[in-house]
Amino acid sequence: MKVTERLRNPPLGPGRCLSPARIHSTCPGGVCKRRTKIETMVDLTQLMENEVFMAFASYTTIVLSKMMFMSTATAFYRLTRKVFANPEDCASFGKGEIAKKYLRTDDRVERVRRAHLNDLENIVPFLGIGLLYSLSGPDLSTAILHFRLFVGARIYHTIAYLIPLPQPNRALAFFLGYGVTLSMAYRLLRSRLYL
Amino acid sequence: MKVTERLRNPPLGPGRCLSPARIHSTCPGGVCKRRTKIETMVDLTQLMENEVFMAFASYTTIVLSKMMFMSTATAFYRLTRKVFANPEDCASFGKGEIAKKYLRTDDRVERVRRAHLNDLENIVPFLGIGLLYSLSGPDLSTAILHFRLFVGARIYHTIAYLIPLPQPNRALAFFLGYGVTLSMAYRLLRSRLYL
Amino acid sequence: MKVTERLRNPPLGPGRCLSPARIHSTCPGGVCKRRTKIETMVDLTQLMENEVFMAFASYTTIVLSKMMFMSTATAFYRLTRKVFANPEDCASFGKGEIAKKYLRTDDRVERVRRAHLNDLENIVPFLGIGLLYSLSGPDLSTAILHFRLFVGARIYHTIAYLIPLPQPNRALAFFLGYGVTLSMAYRLLRSRLYL
């Protein structure tokens, strides 16, 4: 029997019926023949009542919103500095050769794009590992410490990249976020390895 | 006592035992000494019976498949236009200097790559925020409206980028998808903030 | 009544009360007036006791850690070859014009960055589709085969990209990982489509 079938229809036997026998009048002697729907409907929305998961949800939403802000920053610099990557984007500034001169690269825009890509490269592992870590039942205060350090590090990384602050400001922010994700990955692999 | 321990072994007391007392013959007076395994095995696969979560799963799978299609599009343009980024990719077209002339950039290929990167930058926040939003128990019709708008906007964005359609087609598609993700993030942070 | 309200407060009726009537003394005739908190608190941490989900968690953590390693590889090549993208990164090597000569691109660094971006483009769909696939109750051995093939393909892809091995090594590794993700997407859309 497959695992999923086993999960859906657990093998029945004495002592397995959770419903009071008086309700399932067709289940004699406490041996359940059918499962009540209600048992399986309460689960989902309660996921959000777990404190670690709620904290993960809040910090993730903040850090992803911050990442989305980078798109707006790129658009802002492209428009104010008139630096475009596509001919159709600068069509309103003129035609033919006049428009083509706006198809260039600019230090400021490239800097925002590098910061954005770096965010993407670091937030994706946090998203995956952090989600699994939250579900693996960590200690609440440890988990919140991880999330806070990561979100703080990424926000500081963006500030250090965009101003820009002298090194090693950006490098330290990067390695702090990196270390937090690795620490969660280590905990997951140590406690839950299943290959 | 830690939160996770509290979740695994909830404090026992009168009125806490879900198993009919006749089954747990060792639990006198309705006070449960052990928990039946069965209670905890039904949960997982039922997540997929929640309608909001199923809708999220379907729309996410579609939008991620669309994003994966961009890889194929890049490969297609690279092969038909003979534009490569790595020397080993064009080794079959000739040796030495002859092969090197294929190591170049091409407007068409760069356009697909920009569309792909833009997808990545927008679908990653949708993936994270949308998952948490689905689990936060939103109204079904509101949730489906969000998912439909996002998936529609991203498909239209890709079409507008690849043809290309004149602006502001692409910009509107981008900001529609962006707004949908922000709206879900706003709902999450307003109702479930836990810092 | 909204779906979420229905989930939280399922319509009551005879035969719906899971608590033995002797515990809910206020629920006459087996009709439950209130739900015990305990029923809803056990769910979350048990997600990790599902074998498919544990396998997904392990393989995902490995593949994301591998992707994070690419950041370190980029940093390593940038430092040993003195190739930088930001003026502040090479400020310690000299001032003004002397520092500017380090702001260049390098084949080796660009190769690592392309491998990293390719990872990102392929692991993000795996993360999203794989998570939903794991929750959709697949056969354990089929699921583990999918995860193993994907992780193996991505590790081989990185090796083939960085050494580099002659084509079609990298192309085969890419399409194997691509096919695995599509196969999971196909299974999800076939069995759980909800639009």
pLDDT tens, position by position, C30-45: 434 333 333 333 344 5
Judged by CB atoms closer than 8 Å, whether chains meet at A61 and B120 is answered as no
Q: CA angle, corner A128, sides to A124 and A129, nearest 5?
A: 110
A53 falls in which pLDDT band (50, 70, 90)?
A: confident
ipTM, two decimals:
0.71
Mutate to test the interface with B, among C38, C169, C182 (most CBs of B within 10 A): C38
Give the Cα separation of B167 and A102 in Å (integer).
15
- How confident is the model at residue C38, as a pLDDT? 34
Task: Give the per-residue pLDDT at A177.
Answer: 92
What is chain B's alpha carbon radius of gyration, rounded to the nearest angstrom?
A: 26
Cα three-residue angle C185-C66-C111, rounded to 5 degrees: 95
Report whether pLDDT(A43) > 70: no
Confidence band, pLDDT 50/70/90 cuts, at residue A181: very high
The C-alpha atoms of residue C68 and residue A128 are separated, in whole angstroms, by 12
Structural tokens at position A58: 């809040």
At residue C3's C-alpha, the angle toward residues B192 and C9, to 5°, is 80
Q: Do the Cβ atoms of B83 and B99 come closer than 8 Å?
A: no
Phi, psi of B24, deg, nearest 5:
-80, 85
pLDDT over 90 at B178, yes or no: yes
Distance CA A177, CA B89 (A): 35
Task: Give the pLDDT score at A147.
Answer: 93
CA A74 to chain CA centroid, Å, is 22
Which pLDDT value is given to residue A167? 78
Report how far Cα C175 is from the mean position of its chain's Cα atoms.
19
Cβ atoms of B195 and A55 closer than 8 Å: yes
User: CB-CB: which of C128, C164, C192 is closest to B86?
Assistant: C164
pLDDT digits (tens, 9 = 90+) for C87-130: 777 777 766 677 777 777 788 888 888 899 999 999 999 999 99
Q: Print burial letters for B48-87: b (CB count within 10 Å at least 16), e (below 16).
A: bebebbbbbbbbbbbbbbbbbebbebbbebbeeeebbbbe
Selection from B146, B129, B134 nearest residue B51 by Cα: B134
Chain C: closest CA distance from residue B138 (Å):
7
Round the CA-based radius of gyration of chain A to a whole number and report it.
Answer: 26
Q: Nearest by CB to C51, from A46, A189, A194: name it.
A: A194
Mean pLDDT over B23-27 rounds to 41
Interface test with A, best of C2, C12, C16, C18 (most A CBs within 10 A): C18
pTM, to two decimals:
0.74
Residues from chain C contacting residue A26 (CB–CB below 8 Å): none
Is pLDDT at B98 greater than 80 in this prediction? no
User: Which of B8, B64, B78, B92 should we substitute to test contact with C (largest number of C Cβ atoms within 10 Å)?
Assistant: B64
Q: Judge whether C68 and A181 are in contact, CB under 8 Å.
A: yes
Confidence of residue B49 (pLDDT cuts 50, 70, 90): low
Q: How many helices (H) and strands (E) does chain A have?
A: 7, 0
* Distance linking the first and last C-alpha atoms of chain B: 21
C-alpha B44/C-alpha B9 separation (Å) is: 19
Task: Name the least confident of A166-175, B83-92, B166-175, C18-27.
Answer: C18-27
pLDDT band (50, 70, 90) for residue B47:
low
Give SS3 for C5.
helix
B135: nearest CB among A48, A117, A138: A48
| Percent of chain B clearing pLDDT 70 (strictly above) | 73
Residues of chain B with C-beta less than 8 angstroms from the C-beta of C124: 64, 67, 120, 123-124, 127
Cβ neighbours of B44 in A, within 8 Å? 7
- Confidence bin at B79 (pLDDT 50/70/90): confident
Say if the Cβ atoms of B42 and A45 lie within 8 Å: no
Per residue in A58-114, pLDDT (tens digit) is: 899 999 999 999 988 888 888 888 888 887 777 777 666 777 777 777 888 888 888
Asked if the model's pLDDT at residue C24 lies above 70, the reply is no
Task: Read off the pLDDT band of B105 (50, 70, 90).
Answer: confident
Q: Spell out which residues of chain A touch residue C10, defining contact as CB-CB under 8 Å.
A: 38, 41-42
pLDDT value of residue A16: 35
Q: What is the pLDDT of residues C61-93, one digit of tens each?
A: 999 999 999 988 888 888 888 878 887 777 777
Q: What is the mean pLDDT of residues C129-153?
A: 89
Query: What is the rounded distance in angstroms from the CA atom of residue A84 to the CA atom of residue B114?
Result: 12
- CA B4 vs. chain centroid, Å, equals 27
How far is it, in rounded angstroms, from Cα A65 to Cα A69? 6
Q: Which range is least confidently modeled, A58-62, A144-148, B50-54?
A: B50-54
Do A91 and B166 lie within an 8 Å CB cutoff? yes
Region B82-106: mean pLDDT is: 75
Shortest distance between the Cα of C63 and any Cα of chain B, in A, equals 17
pLDDT computed for residue B95 by the predictor: 67
Burial of B95 (0-12, 13-18, 19+ CB in 10 A): exposed
> Between chains, do C42 and B40 touch, taking CB under 8 Å as contact?
yes
Q: Cβ B50–C7 below 8 Å, yes or no?
A: yes
What integer best gives the mean pLDDT of chain A? 74
Least trusted range by pLDDT, from B2-11, B86-95, B185-194, C45-54? B2-11
Residue A169: pLDDT band with limits 50, 70, 90:
confident
Tell me if A118 sits within 8 A of A174, measured CB to CB.
Answer: yes
Model confidence band, residue B110 (pLDDT cutoffs 50, 70, 90)? confident
Residue B84 pairs in a beta bridge with: B103
Partner residue opposite C38 with nearest CB, options B10, B14, B123: B10
Rounded Cα distance between B15 and B96, Å, is 81
Instruction: Find the closest chain B residue to A55 by CA distance.
Output: B194
